[in-house]
Amino acid sequence: MSASQMIPRRARLNPFAFPSDTDLRFVLLIVTVLGASLFIYNWICLQTHFQELLASASCASHQGPKSIQAISALNVPAFQTAANAVSQCGIPYHRIETVYMISGVVLVGTVAVVIYWLFPLWNLWRGKLVLLSAEDSPELMVYLAELCHEAQLARLPSFVCNPFNQTITGLAFGRVGRYYVALSGGLVTLFSTDRASFRAIVLHELAHLRNADVSKTYFAIASWWAFVIVALVPFIVISAVGFVKNPDVLLTLDKAWRVLVMAALVFLVLAATLRAREFYADVRAAIWENSATPLLRVLNRLAMPKKRWQRVTQFHPDPHERGRTLNETDRLFRLGLWDALGFGIAVGIAAPNILALVNSLFYLLPQINTSDIPDWQTFGAALILAPLLAAAIGLSTWRTTFAALVRGQAPLNIGRAGFCVGVGLILGTFLSLSFDNILVNPLFPFVLSLPWSLVVLVSLVLFLHWIAMGTSAWLDVMISSRSPRLFYTVGLVIAIGVLVVVMAQLFYFHLFATDTATLLTLITTNNPTLLTPPFDLLIGFAIVIVGNILLLIYNTLLSTGVFVAFVCLWAFPLAVWFWRKQVKTAVGSHWAFLGASSQPIVLPRQDPFRLRFALIVGLVGGLVFCGLFLVIDIFWHLIVPAATRGAEPLASFFLYGNIVMAALLQATAAGIVAGWVRRLGALHGLFAAFVGGCVMTVGILAIVSLIGGLVPAAIIWPTFTSVINAGALLAWPVTFIVSVIVQETRKSHREGVTA
**pLDDT value for 236:** 92
DSSP per-residue letters across 377-441: HHHHHHHHHHHHHHHHHHHHHHHHHHHHHHTT-PPPSHHHHHHHHHHHHHHHHHHT---S-TTS-
**pLDDT, average across residues 202-216:** 94
Rounded mean pLDDT, 515-530: 68
- Provide the residue type at 717 as one letter: W
Q: What is the DSSP letter of 607?
A: P
* Residue 40: predicted pLDDT: 92
Q: What is the pLDDT of residue 107?
A: 96
Q: Which tens digit of pLDDT belongs to each residue from 599-632?
A: 556 666 677 889 999 999 999 999 999 999 999 8
pLDDT at position 256 is 85
| Beta strands in 82-196, from DSSP E residues, in sequence order | 130-131, 158-162, 170-175, 178-184
- pLDDT given for residue 6 in this prediction: 37
How many Cβ atoms are within 10 Å of 561's Cβ, its own excluded?
Answer: 16
For residues 311-321, average pLDDT: 83
Asked if pLDDT for residue 42 goes beyond 50, the answer is yes
- What is residue 228's predicted lDDT score, i.e. its pLDDT? 96
Say yes or no to pLDDT of 65 above 80. no
Please check the confidence at residue 543 and state whether its pLDDT lies above 50.
Answer: yes
3-state SS assignment for residue 247? coil
Which domains, and CATH codes, for the chain?
125-214 (3.30.2010.10), 374-606 (no CATH), 613-754 (no CATH)
pLDDT given at position 516: 76
pLDDT reading at 250 higher than 80: no
Q: pLDDT category, 2, cuts 50, 70, 90?
A: very low
Tell me: pLDDT of 434 over 70.
Answer: no
Q: How confident is the model at residue 661 (pLDDT cuts 50, 70, 90)?
A: very high
Residue 56 has pLDDT above 80, yes or no: no
pLDDT at 318 over 60: yes
Closest residue by Cα to residue 597 from 14, 15, 11, 13:
11
- Give 131's strand partners: 160
Task: Encode 309-344: b = buried (16+ Cβ within 10 Å), e = exposed.
Answer: eeeeeeeebbbbbbbbbbbebbebbbbbeebbbbbb
User: Mean pLDDT: which of 51-55, 274-278, 370-374, 703-707 is highest?
Assistant: 274-278
SS3 assignment, position 637: helix
Of residues 304, 302, 311, the one with CA closest to residue 275: 311
Angle between helices 138-150 and 195-210 (to 10 degrees): 50
pLDDT of the residue at 3: 38
pTM, rounded to two decimals: 0.85
The reported pLDDT for the residue numbered 64 is: 60
Which range among 72-76, 253-257, 368-372 shows the weakest confidence by mean pLDDT?
A: 72-76
Assess contact for 487 and 481: CB atoms under 8 A: yes
521 φψ region: left (φ > 0), alpha (ψ -120 to 50), beta (else)? alpha
Residue 579 confidence (pLDDT):
83
Q: What is the mean pLDDT of the chain?
A: 83
Whether 568 contacts 687, CB under 8 Å: no
pLDDT at residue number 726: 92
**pLDDT exceeds 70 at position 332:** yes
**What does the pLDDT read at residue 123?**
93
pLDDT recorded at residue 290: 85
178 DSSP assignment: E
